Chain A
């Protein structure tokens, strides 16, 4: 009785502390951000004399508060490095330039464990309790799908959704506040399909895809790209939490596939590579989506020995290009401001998100509103971030910023910590201004690279 009494008191104290933390936390944030409804009447005296019309939730004289939902833990925890790099870059800009137009950028990163029910919860909290100005780089197809309507209803700008699914960009009129950043999966699929048709004609294409828009868009793209050159086997699906895709690979081998395309994150994609190469001893050409084109995939696949020759596509520079000043800068920034010792494709991507957003903020100017920042994004000049290979552009009719990629493949490299690296080859592909809906290979132009 005595022991449970002490424990009871202890736990009550902890509970009260926790409630106090939550309550006080909310109070602080409420003081800092002005409510949206009274914006027109209550512009702080320190601001410009003319009244700022529009929604300035999340914006104060000194700070811009933005949020994101990321899989910090769970099946896609590999991506947790992205937000670490983005935060580091914002800290760098805050310190060296004082932010943008005198406002420091604060990024709230919430963990949704790549689980859609959690995404709904954390995004609601970000929008209604933390009152963020915008969402930046929300990650995951199925996860973001849950909140996209809600964000639109609430009028929250939804920048650079970290997936290539069509849903966000296929109809800018229907989703005016949403902007993509990854090359969309249909375009990726068409490019793969075209390459496969030219190099592996006459065989069978086996496609493994996540059982949602990610896999389905990718499959659709491959079908369009391959056309009649090869037989396309039915799509083999898997669910996001599945630890591996061994049975899917086995079935495709049994069906006689001569080429494999895998639309998966760095959990199932490397598992597929490892199973095919190491377990089955099958040297089928493997293509993986750009979301898995990073060093982690090579490592998880069992190193360069297994991953050599795997093809993907990329739009970012590489961490091993250390003679590029932009890469040197990147390595320095993430180490100094984020404590990240090893740069890789994911940290580069994180920085590209931050750079893209800062560019838009600069374009929007000192009178920052949600409507204004969306208009600024649409009217901004084409922008190439310091670690990007191609320039990105947005317009009123085109919310898909990244519309160029180059094919790349894994090559052995003893100097690299994972034993191999991604090396671009061939031409680059560009589809500026073309929406994915009815895209075909003819809409994609080849440009020389580099």
Chain B
């Protein structure tokens, strides 16, 4: 059974890898010329940074259950760090992205993560929301307070923002790829690496710790999971992803300013992962597709749909955009409560007749035991159904976790 699972899977991954590698050149092939242009290569780079950002967001909200409405601020911080390093200290963009990721991760973990452990649910949402509201003004800050002149604009360049220009391909590959294709490869490679990292992380002890904290904080604590540490860690790691995403953002867009990320963007991230599917890597991918194409889709669809509305009701169909967009969102979330990824899983499981229901209590307890009893990070191990069904709540006692397993 393992072999048959492996073969199509390996084939699928190989195909995907091949597609990713040749994608920037696809539009020069005769068959694809009609509907792919160099613009799509740029959009693929856009997809890459949205994916990285949403991976982090999913880690935080999907796997750890902590709602953050301030993610756009973290992305902006990562973008600014990359831009400032490039602009003021001539640090190459690639290195800048790395540093930005780490710095944002530390910042997010410490500045937000530590206070955030005391908050949950709507209170956490409000606290993180304040971040994204405050950030534009912090970036433009040039004030005199208590006799001290605080001027951040000498780094952030205030309202004008920082322009890093178009990323240039290094001399080595000159002639092989142009600037945009190089941007694509750099962004996509980073996105692939971050995806693998996230995937690995979620199947490790830390990942199970996150899920345990999400499913029931009290139970997790009873099981010996350091809830505070894992919450802060969730913020730190997702901030790291946000920072890297922000660095990729400024690499692709070439400019960052206080207006680049606003409250709407933050909310859009949340919408994207819910539509895509919480707590799944595939969900982040779907979410990134949504973020990349939603503007264009609505732009093309809205006039067509608006034509169906009688002219007496609405004078200018362009104003219906919001209504159409909102309706599509509502329909999607009502039809697929577990997101598009959830729907995909349902579809794939269809044939075998198994219903993919919500995780039940036995599964949660099984994952807790796995966390509490594994003493070190080991190769990712799935909690199988047989293990879950063997867990008998009556026999369990928090003082004596079953030592044989782990």
Contact = CB atoms under 8 A, between A and B. Distances in A.
Interface string A294-332: 000000000000000000000000000000000000000
A411 to B, nearest CB: 30
A162 B43 CA distance: 28
B240 to A, nearest CB: 22
Given A23-B35, A239-B136, A145 B259 contact: yes
B159 A116 contact: no
Contacts of B161: 145-146
A72 B346 contact: no
Given A18-B301, A27-B34, A241 B257 contact: no
Interface in B309-342: 315-316, 318-319, 321-322, 331-332, 335-336
Interface in B338-357: 343, 346-347
Contacts of A117: 259-262, 264-265
Contacts of B122: none
Most chain B CB neighbours (cut-off 10 Å) among A84, A115, A339: A115
B295 A122 contact: yes
A167 B159 CA distance: 11
Nearest to A239: B136
Contacts of B166: 153
Contacts of A26: 35, 37
Interface in A1-42: 4, 7-8, 11, 18, 21-27, 30
A120 interface: yes
Interface residues of A, number: 49
B159 A145 contact: yes
A4 B336 CA distance: 8
A448 B35 CA distance: 59
A273 interface: no
Contacts of A7: 335-336
A8 to B, nearest CB: 6
A118 B315 contact: no
A271 interface: no
B140 interface: yes
Main secondary structure of the interface of A (DSSP, over half): helix
B35 A111 contact: no
Interface residues of B, number: 48
Contacts of A428: none
A211 interface: yes
Contacts of A121: 295
Interface string A121-135: 110110011000000
B296 A22 contact: yes
Contact of B255 (A11, A24, A125, A146): A146
A205 B296 CA distance: 46
B264 A125 contact: no
B321 A73 contact: yes
A239 B258 CA distance: 11
A145 B257 contact: yes
B297 interface: yes
A445 interface: no
A259 interface: no
B299 A213 contact: no
B160 A128 contact: no
A322 B70 CA distance: 52
A27 B35 contact: yes
A239 B137 contact: yes
A150 interface: yes
Contact of B300 (A4, A21, A128, A142): A21
A116 B259 contact: yes
Given A27-B35, A110-B299, 20 more contacts: A4-B346, A18-B301, A72-B321, A111-B299, A115-B259, A116-B260, A118-B295, A120-B260, A121-B295, A124-B39, A124-B42, A142-B257, A142-B259, A145-B161, A146-B255, A149-B254, A212-B159, A212-B258, A237-B137, A239-B137
13 contacts: A21-B304, A22-B297, A30-B37, A80-B318, A109-B318, A117-B264, A128-B37, A146-B255, A153-B165, A167-B160, A212-B159, A212-B258, A216-B159
